[in-house]
Amino acid sequence: MKRSPFPGLAGALWLVLASMLLEALCAALLQGLPGLGAAEEAALARLVANAALFSGLVAFLRLNYRELFHDSPAGVGATLGLTLLPVLALVPGLVVVEGWISQWLTTLVPLSAWEARAFTEMSQPVPGMLVMVCVLAPVLEEMLFRGVILRAFLQRYSRGVAIAHSAGVFGLAHMNLYQFVAAFTLGLLAGWLYERTRSLWPCIALHAGYNTSITLLEAGAADHAPDLVPVAPLATALLSAWFLKRWLQPAGAR
């Protein structure tokens, strides 16, 4: 009997837990290194932990990093040439919608003092935190949640179920209600992009664009008008979504 691809849903949850435990272990080992602040230590811990995790996963799954990042007959340049601008154009509209959802959630379920402090620390524009949130998180999380987990789910489940399950696991990995909703929505979009392109590069672009935009907004480095309906970002996002749906065919249709 042919074995189902690893991981399934339970295996995906164990992988997320393993990633968190490895990161906590590395953070403990690296604590107190001279010349590093808390944010730099956290970024380095995440990098070392994920390097160890992916080294094991790539060997176990018999993949190479080229296949992990781009497993499509279309070249990387052609894929990015078609998707990069419309994917980035989705970001302002996504930020607006997520802002509305976040405002509704925090009104319904107010942040605890600990959560408010944690979110404030994450949005600090210090180099280590910017690298972790805007560079490391998009690359490493897309490698795990789309490159490994969704890749296997697409071989186990229908497309819709695979994308929804991977987005759910991605949301749960953030360990709080507020980020769960944002991560789940982002995971649905990134999952759809991966299913259509079989490439992590458009997913990384979307993830990095979203994280960077949120970081700049929360740090006060960008002006926005929450009391107005932002027609332009929403219209641009809808147009970009239409373009991507029109030109990106399902992987099985190629």
Nearest-angstrom CA–CA distance, 100 and 94: 10
Nearest-angstrom CA–CA distance, 156 and 200: 19
pLDDT computed for residue 2 by the predictor = 56
pLDDT of residue 137 exceeding 80, the answer is: yes
The answer to whether the predicted template modeling score (pTM) of the entire model surpasses 0.85 is: yes
* Tokens standing for residue 110: 């107010």
Name the residue among 140, 187, 150 with its Cα closest to residue 23: 140
Cα-flanking dihedrals φ and ψ of residue 70, to 5°? -155, 100
pLDDT of residue 43 exceeding 60, the answer is: yes
pLDDT of residue 212 exceeding 90, the answer is: yes
* Tokens standing for residue 192: 């759809």
pLDDT in tens, 73-85: 999 999 999 999 9
Q: Residue 229: what residue type?
A: V
Name the residue among 122, 86, 124 with its Cα closest to residue 202: 86
Nearest-angstrom CA–CA distance, 92 and 144: 25
Instruction: Note whether 132 and 43 are within 8 A (CB).
Output: yes
Cα-flanking dihedrals φ and ψ of residue 2, to 5°? -75, 130
pLDDT of residue 132 exceeding 70, the answer is: yes
**Which whole number is the average pLDDT over 143-166?**
96
Residues in the chain: 254
pLDDT of residue 15 exceeding 50, the answer is: yes
Nearest-angstrom CA–CA distance, 254 and 252: 6
- Max Cα–Cα distance, the chain, nearest Å: 59
Q: Which long-range contacts (CB under 8 A, 24 or more apart) does 160-166 make?
A: 162/191, 162/195, 163/187, 163/188, 163/191, 163/192, 163/195, 164/188, 164/191, 165/9, 165/12, 166/12, 166/191
Instruction: Note whether 22 and 47 are within 8 A (CB).
Output: no
pLDDT in tens, 44-103: 999 999 999 999 999 999 999 999 999 999 999 999 999 999 999 999 999 999 989 988
pLDDT computed for residue 229 by the predictor = 62
